[in-house]
Structure 1
Amino acid sequence: MVATNEFKVAAIQMNCELGDKQLNLDRAYGLISEAARQGAQLIVLPELFNTGYRVEEDDVSFAETIPGATTNWMETLCQEFNITLVGCILERINTQGLIYDTSVVTSPEGILGTYRKTHLWDQENTRFKKGESLPIFKLEWGNLGMQICYEVGFPESARVLALKGADIIVYPSAFGKERLYAWDIATRSRALENGCYVIAANRTGTEKNETAFGGHSRITSPQGEVLAEATKENEVIIADIDLDKISEQRRQIPYLRDYNSSLFANELKKIALLNS
């Protein structure tokens, strides 16, 4: 891939079959190949795309090490299509029984980094262990920050990533249809308030006859403009992005320049002491 400030990115919106890894990988492969044919260099998949979301009874058996089978598959696709790929899976570590909800970024060179979900939604608090860091990944075209699903509603995390230099923040998601009003506002707000691009790849479908996913995957500009939005079950959305627009927007509305980090650091320390 040639380094440039202008390139195409993609979000993949897909339905997943609970527990059927091969079917899900095959479906994802078709959508990834479509995105690559359209010129996308960075492609983002939904949360737990390889297993489905509501596999809580089988978290331990479905979880994989990193590197492992699914990340090896991701690397192979990156080499085949010359892309950078973000996917989110159940991660198993050496400590028996501990599972993370983990986002992985791969390229033709291999695994570039991982991010473990730090803010867990509802029953995820009994399924997963919380991550404890907000890393930035320096890629050849810019800096990538990763969050997962529910975390789109936590402006503090996105702000930290932006202050660390994130040009693009990605949100692999299994976001519920019932709360699409929050998704609509938050996906635009995280982009606007940080002057960065947001790629939010969401699920569709219903699992266990009770968990309905909202779709509406989006690619959002630093001005909070929705550049592309998905409307179908298994769909690829593509947008052209220009990293020069980031500095332009951050000069237009200098939220990051004017952010009073010492004030908030002190206030958060006070809150922590009150709650300890």
Structure 2
Amino acid sequence: MSHLTFTLIQTNLHWEDKAANLQMLEEKINSIQHPTQIIVLPEMFNTGFSMKPEELGEDMNGPTVEWMKKIAAEKRLILTGSLMVKDEIVQAGETIPTLQYFNRLIWMLPNGQYGVYDKRHLFAYADEDKHYTAGTKRLIASVNGWKINLMVCYDLRFPVWARQQSNDDEPEFDILIYVANWPERRVHAWKTLLTARAIENQCYLIGVNRTGNDGNSIYHSGNSMVIDAMGEVLYEKEHEEDVFTITLSKEKLEEIRHKLPFLKDGDAFSILP
């Protein structure tokens, strides 16, 4: 399919109030006027960027994942965003699983199947690394011939993790998505790095950020963005809540890559766990 339609939901969040956030987001989803295929929510969309996973974390059968399944099935679309998840993991060399907490992005399909991406780069400045376990694997989803690389917030500062790694003539992905709770005080970095990731990977870039003050009185201006492979901003919204739908063209992307075949001159590299 040569086109793919996304809806970005830029919104304030109720601090650590899952029920209120899910109700609010469902109302916003129900308000969407245009046909869409993928809805993108911010990071920790059901709580805000909280460091209380022991109290607020859910397992993969919890109410938030079930809500995502319900919405995706009812609307017949893909729903994505991150939340705090608790999971029992068997460590290498051990047989007994240990309970760990993740800032986990869920890629929920309309049939109830899903993919997961655990945030790789934990924001030590806010002690995220003391409460959550870092992920080790990327998630690149496939939708109607498009490949989508899924990331979370602070991952944006680490270009190697997002870099195209294809060993053949085909790019590894076509769209790079970041879901975030990125403060307004560092919004210049947000906008600059989003643009850089789009240009260096010759891909579309979607960044979905929240608005408003969180429970620590940190203000978020939103500045959710859609950027094309040349770095042109196709959409940006500052300060205000917004529900925005945009259709991306695979033909335009392939035209850019054909005229400017920069990716083939890239350095070969690999990422260690």
Give the TM-score, by structure 2 length.
0.88
Q: Contact conserved, 1:170 with 1:199, CA < 8 A, in 2?
A: yes
Bigger fraction of residues in helix:
1
Verify: 1:14 aligned to 2:16, yes or no: no
Q: Which amino acid aligns with 1:105?
A: W
Select between 154-163 and 95-104 the one with higher mean Cα deviation.
154-163
Residue of structure 2 in register with 1:228 after alignment: 235
Residue of structure 1 in register with 2:79 after alignment: 85
The SS at the match of 1:217 is strand
Verify: 1:140 aligned to 2:147, yes or no: no
Residue in structure 2 matching 1:29, options 21, 26, 29: 26
Verify: 1:76 aligned to 2:70, yes or no: yes
CA distance in structure 1 between the partners assigned to 2:251 and 2:148 by the alignment: 15
Residue in structure 2 matching 1:183, options 168, 177, 190: 190
Residue of structure 1 in register with 2:133 after alignment: 129
Q: Which amino acid aligns with 2:212?
A: G
Residue of structure 2 in register with 1:216 after alignment: 223
Cα root mean square deviation, aligned: 2.1
Shift of 1:47: 0.3
Residue of structure 2 in register with 1:115 after alignment: 117
Change (3 A) 1:161 1:169: farther
Bigger fraction of residues in strand:
2
Q: Contact conserved, 1:162 with 1:194, CA < 8 A, in 2?
A: no
The SS at the match of 2:117 is strand
CA distance in structure 2 between the partners assigned to 1:85 and 1:59 by the alignment: 22
Shift of 1:182: 0.5
- Render the CA deviation track for 1:57-106: whole Å, top value 9, x for unaligned: x3112111124321211111112112111111001012555211010111
Residue of structure 2 in register with 1:274 after alignment: none
Count of residues in Structure 1 that have an aligned counterpart in Structure 2: 260
CA distance in structure 2 between the partners assigned to 1:31 and 1:162 by the alignment: 37
Q: Which amino acid aligns with 2:255?
A: E
Change (3 A) 1:176 1:139: same
Shift of 1:214: 2.9
Q: Which amino acid aligns with 2:130?
A: T
Q: Contact conserved, 1:84 with 1:108, CA < 8 A, in 2?
A: yes
Give the TM-score, by structure 1 length.
0.87
Aligned residues with identical type, % of pairs: 29
Give 5+ residue unaligned stretches, structure 2. Answer: 89-96
Residue of structure 1 in register with 2:181 after alignment: 174
CA distance in structure 1 between the partners assigned to 2:257 and 2:120 by the alignment: 27
Residue of structure 2 in register with 1:157 after alignment: 161
Shift of 1:254: 2.4
Residue of structure 2 in register with 1:272 after alignment: none
Residue of structure 2 in register with 1:273 after alignment: none
Residue of structure 1 in register with 2:101 after alignment: 99
- Render the CA deviation track for 1:111-153: whole Å, top value 9, x for unaligned: 3300000011121111211000113122235212111011122
Shift of 1:161: 6.3
Residue of structure 1 in register with 2:57 after alignment: 63
